[in-house]
Amino acid sequence: MNSKPARVRFAPSPTGRLHLGGARTALYDYLLARATGGQFILRIEDTDRKRYQPEAEAEFVRALRWLGLEWDEGPDIGGPYGPYRQSERKEIYQRYAWELVERGHAYPCFCSAERLQKVREEQKRRKESIRYDGHCRNIPPAEARARVEAGERHVIRFKMPREGQVVCRDALRGEIVYDNANLDDSILVKSDGLALYHLASMVDDHLMEITHVLRGSEWLPTFPLHVHIYQAFGWEQPEWVHLSVFLKPSGKGKMSKREAANLMKDGRSIFITDLEAMGYLPEATINWIALMGWSYDDRTEFFTLDDLVQKFSIRKLNPAPAAINFSKFDHFNGLHIRALPLDDLMRRVRPFFERAGYQVDDEKLRQIMPILQPRLKTLSDAPEVAGFFFEDRAEPDPQRLLGKRLTPAQALAAARRLRAMIDEWPDLSQETGEAPVRALAAEMNVKAGDLFALLREAVTGRPVSPPIFDTMVILGRETVLQRLDRAIEILAAMEN
């Protein structure tokens, strides 16, 4: 809407699950693509065989779909720039790596892992910066070529200039200048022939005509390498956008595996595919993560995905790290639950009743919705708030039937009177019921609050519930009377 169509990619590595940070990157990718009428692309960066997890790709797909972030090109649906899995693009990277070698920007390196390890240890001991020592950097090209052709095990390294500076432009930070002398001759292609991120991602972004690269700020240290690679090829760079990392809720330290495990113990999760079962809405998740590192103005906070497409702008991104705030997530979830049409809420909340073991009656469920909606922080709260509607009987607690200050005798008398009254009422609504209950309280010289407590406990078996008249209307007179009879039994037993 504001600029040329953007081609933006979300490129996860299938080594784990989609978490909040990744989801936010994917969201911003999606928003940028949609806002400009461009394409949102899913690419799988599976160049690391050792850490590869076969289930991970499907897990990412599921998580992204749940969030509602549909892509235009990807491994599952194909597209004009495929394949979209890096493991299927091995030959492409080989070709580009050798092009770099021929242009003098890269070289084969034959150092063993053992030698490298030793070099590093020595550097560490001498408190020098840890870097490749350039052992193979000046092997004559013809000789290097011959050794490669002879089948000698090798990697390909970038030949970083030893002097000068690189100017790297980040959309949020402006120009960042790095001294080449501090940069390393990083490996581009491993000895197994597969490219590393540094090469694969640059080549793919170029070939796929990616216009904006959104990635975590942990890539800032290798940013200059990537710019060098682009320049070595003579390619036009995309717009680089380095997003801040998410910090632990305490604000002390980055989100980590360890911290994620800790959060689980508190019933919280940073993994997208856990959120549904925990009763969170994708709408709320989107709204929440969108606002961690981005803002629209000084007051608007409620956004749907479509709103965000309309309002998103890279310019409003914030480079500072953000601590995850779960109580705000709960707040947004409540807002989005309350924004749901009732039949939609009904559809979504039903599985939570079923999972809690309730036989769900459709008509009753429908009637419950208006009183359930404002009482839900998460969908999983539903059984606790309204499960009693589906219970065959309520089992009142004898003490609680007495409210704050009723004697057993008073409570028994009151219960009998209430039962008789309710039996006579034309309906169980607040309009017909409230005045008589209050009148009874006055007549018996007890607090109306205690009578309501008695009624609530008898009818629902719980000390808290939705408004009692609304509750009774849904339960129906027959059920209410049965439950009152049971309460009367209990109170009569207390008397003796």
What residues from 270 to 329 belong to the interface with RNA (CB under 7 A)? Answer: 291-293, 295, 297-299, 301, 315-316, 318-323, 325, 327-328
Q: What DSSP element (H or E) covers 225?
A: helix 223-233
Which residues in 390-449 contact RNA (CB under 7 A)? 430, 434, 448-449
Which residues in 362-401 contact RNA (CB under 7 A)? 374-375
Closest to RNA by CB, 48 or 274:
48
Which part of the chain contacts RNA (CB under 7 A), choosing from 27-35, 53-61, 192-200, 477-485? 192-200
State which of residues 37, 161, 251, 267 lies at the interface with RNA (CB under 7 A).
251
> How many CB atoms lie under 10 A from the CB of residue 320?
9
State which of residues 153, 347, 355, 405 lies at the interface with RNA (CB under 7 A).
153
The answer to the question of residue 219 lying near RNA (CB under 7 A) is yes
Q: How far apart are CA 447 and CA 455, in angstroms?
A: 13
The answer to the question of residue 465 lying near RNA (CB under 7 A) is yes
Least Cα distance to 392 among 271, 316, 475, 490 occurs for 475
Closest to RNA by CB, 86 or 211:
86
Q: How far apart are CA 114 and CA 120, in angstroms?
A: 10
The answer to the question of residue 133 lying near RNA (CB under 7 A) is no
Residue 44: C-alpha distances to residues 74, 192, 361, 451 (Å): 8, 19, 44, 63
Q: Do residues 396 and 463 lie in contact, with contact meaning Cβ atoms separated by under 8 Å?
A: no
The answer to the question of residue 232 lying near RNA (CB under 7 A) is no
Measured from the CB of residue 295, what is the shortest distance to RNA in angstroms? 4
Closest to RNA by CB, 135 or 493:
135
Closest to RNA by CB, 126 or 234:
126
State which of residues 5, 78, 141, 463 lies at the interface with RNA (CB under 7 A).
463
State which of residues 65, 103, 338, 347 lies at the interface with RNA (CB under 7 A).
338
Q: Do residues 421 and 443 lie in contact, with contact meaning Cβ atoms separated by under 8 Å?
A: no
Which part of the chain contacts RNA (CB under 7 A), choosing from 6-14, 279-287, 414-422, 488-496? 6-14
* Largest Cα–Cα separation, the chain: 108
Closest to RNA by CB, 172 or 241:
172
CA–CA–CA angle 313, 316, 320 (5° rounding):
135
**Which is catalytic among the residues 118, 124, 254, 257?**
257
The answer to the question of residue 190 lying near RNA (CB under 7 A) is yes
Least Cα distance to 380 among 338, 345, 352, 360 occurs for 352
Q: How far apart are CA 453 and CA 457, in angstroms?
A: 6
State which of residues 247, 349, 379, 480 lies at the interface with RNA (CB under 7 A).
247
Closest to RNA by CB, 138 or 256:
256
Closest to RNA by CB, 104 or 251:
251
The answer to the question of residue 261 lying near RNA (CB under 7 A) is no
Measured from the CB of residue 334, what is the shortest distance to RNA in angstroms? 6
Q: Do residues 455 and 441 lie in contact, with contact meaning Cβ atoms separated by under 8 Å?
A: no
* DSSP summary character for residue 463: S
Q: Would you call 323 helix, strand, or coil by DSSP?
A: strand
Q: How far apart are CA 240 and CA 225, in angstroms?
A: 13
State which of residues 113, 142, 150, 261 lies at the interface with RNA (CB under 7 A).
113
The answer to the question of residue 333 lying near RNA (CB under 7 A) is no
State which of residues 149, 234, 464, 496 lies at the interface with RNA (CB under 7 A).
464
Q: Let me know if 30 is exposed, middle or buried by CB neighbors in 10 A (0-12, 13-18, 19+).
A: buried
**Residue 257 bears catalytic tag:** yes
Residue 254: C-alpha distances to residues 172, 203, 244, 262 (Å): 20, 30, 11, 13
Torsion of CA 383, 388, 391, 394, to 10 degrees: 140
The answer to the question of residue 163 lying near RNA (CB under 7 A) is no
> Annotated catalytic sites, by residue?
257
